[in-house]
Amino acid sequence: MRKGEEEKPPFGKSWKQWYWAVLLVLLIQIGVYYFITQKYKWVP
Amino acid sequence: MGTLDWIVLLGTLLFIVVYGAWKTRGSKDIESYLRGNKDRWWTICLSIMATQASAITFLSTPGQAYEDGMRFIQNYFGLPLAMIVISATMLPVYYRLKVFTAYEFLESRFDLKIRLLAAALFLIQRGLAAGITIYAPAIVLSTILGWSLATTNFFIGSLVIFYTVSGGTRAVSQTQKQQMAVMMGGMIVAGVMVLYLMPKEVSLGQVFQVAGIMGKLNLVDFKFDLAERYTFWSGLLGGFFLAMSYFGTDHSQVARYIGGQSVAQSRVGLLFNGLLKVPMQFIILLIGVLVFVFFQFEKPPLIFNPVAYHKINTSPTLAPVLQNLEKAHANCFESKIQIWREINQEQQNFVLSSENSKIQKLRHLQNQADRIRDQALEMVKIVDPKTRDIDYVFLHFVLHYLPQGLVGLIIAVILSAAMSSTASELNALASTTTIDFYKRSIRQKASPSHYLWVSKVVTFFWGIAAILFATYASLFENLIEAVNILGSLFYGTVLGIFLIAFYLRFVRSFATFWAAIIAELVVLHLFFLRQIIDFLFDKSALPLYIETLANLGYLWYNVIGCVLTIVFAVILQWFYPYEGLKKRRKVL
Give the pLDDT score at B28: 73
Q: What is the mean pLDDT of residues B71-97?
A: 91
Q: Is the pLDDT of residue B460 over 90?
A: yes
Chain B segment 62-91 residues within 8 A of A by beta carbon are: 73, 77, 80-81, 83-84, 87-88
Of B145-149, B334-338, B373-377, B560-564, the least confident? B145-149
Q: What is the mean pLDDT of residues B213-237?
A: 82
Interchain contact, A5 vs B77, CB within 8 Å? no
B84 three-class SS? helix
How far apart (Å, rounded) are the C-alpha atoms in residues B532 and B526? 9
Give the pLDDT score at B547: 72
Residues of chain B above pLDDT 70, percent: 91
Give the pLDDT score at B445: 84
Residues 6+ apart with CB under 8 A from B174: B19, B20, B23, B24, B43, B167
First to last CA, chain B: 57
Backbone angles phi, psi at B221, to 5 degrees: -130, 110
Q: Give chain B's mean pLDDT.
A: 85
- Residue B527: CB atoms within 10 A of its CB come to 17
Give the pLDDT score at B557: 79
Backbone angles phi, psi at B260, to 5 degrees: -75, 175
Give the pLDDT score at B538: 65
Cross-strand pairs, B39: B260
Whether chain A has a CB inside 8 Å of the CB on B205: the answer is: no
Binned at pLDDT 50, 70 and 90, residue B587 comes out as: very low
Of A21-30, B141-150, B161-170, the least confident? B141-150
Of B36-40, B531-535, B562-566, the least confident? B531-535
Whether chain B has a CB inside 8 Å of the CB on A4: the answer is: yes
In Å, how far are A4, B301, B374, B378, B510 from B330, measured between CA atoms?
65, 9, 15, 19, 66
Give the pLDDT score at B350: 53
Binned at pLDDT 50, 70 and 90, residue B158 comes out as: very high
Q: Is the pLDDT of residue B490 over 50?
A: yes
Interchain contact, A29 vs B278, CB within 8 Å? yes
Give the pLDDT score at A34: 93
What are the pLDDT digits (tens) for B131-144? 888 887 887 788 77
Looking at chain A, which residue has its C-alpha nearest residue B213? Answer: A42
Of B65-74, B156-165, B316-325, B574-583, the least confident? B574-583
Backbone angles phi, psi at B42, to 5 degrees: -70, -35
Q: Is the pLDDT of residue B487 over 60?
A: yes
How far apart (Å, rounded) are the C-alpha atoms in residues B53 and B50? 5
Cross-strand pairs, B117: none
Q: Is the pLDDT of residue B180 over 80?
A: yes
B253 three-class SS? helix
Q: Is the pLDDT of residue A1 over 50?
A: no
Cβ atoms of residues B579 and B545 within 8 Å = no
Q: What is the mean pLDDT of residues B546-556?
A: 70
B579 three-class SS? coil
How far apart (Å, rounded) are the C-alpha atoms in residues B538 and B534? 7
What are the pLDDT digits (tens) for B415-443? 899 889 899 999 999 999 999 999 988 88
Q: Is the pLDDT of residue B588 over 50?
A: no
How far apart (Å, rounded) are the C-alpha atoms in residues B26 and B194? 44
Give the pLDDT score at B54: 82
DSSP type of residue B101: S
Binned at pLDDT 50, 70 and 90, residue A5 comes out as: very low
Interchain contact, B354 vs A44, CB within 8 Å? yes
Distance in Å, alpha carbon of B280 to nearest chain A alpha carbon: 12
Of B113-117, B536-540, B563-567, the least confident? B536-540
DSSP type of residue A10: G
Q: What is the 3-state secondary structure (H, E, C) of B328-390?
A: HHHHHHHHHHHHHHHHHHHCCCCCCCCCCHHHHHHHHHHHHHHHHHHHHHHHHHHHCCCCCHH
pTM: predicted TM-score of the whole model, two decimal places: 0.86
Q: What is the mean pLDDT of residues A29-33?
A: 95
DSSP characters for B460-514? Answer: HHHHHHHHHHHHHGGGSTTHHHHHHHHHHHHHHHHHHHHHHHHH-TT--HHHHHH
Distance in Å, alpha carbon of B275 to nearest chain A alpha carbon: 6
Q: Is the pLDDT of residue B235 over 90?
A: no
Whether chain A has a CB inside 8 Å of the CB on B217: the answer is: yes
Binned at pLDDT 50, 70 and 90, residue A4 comes out as: very low
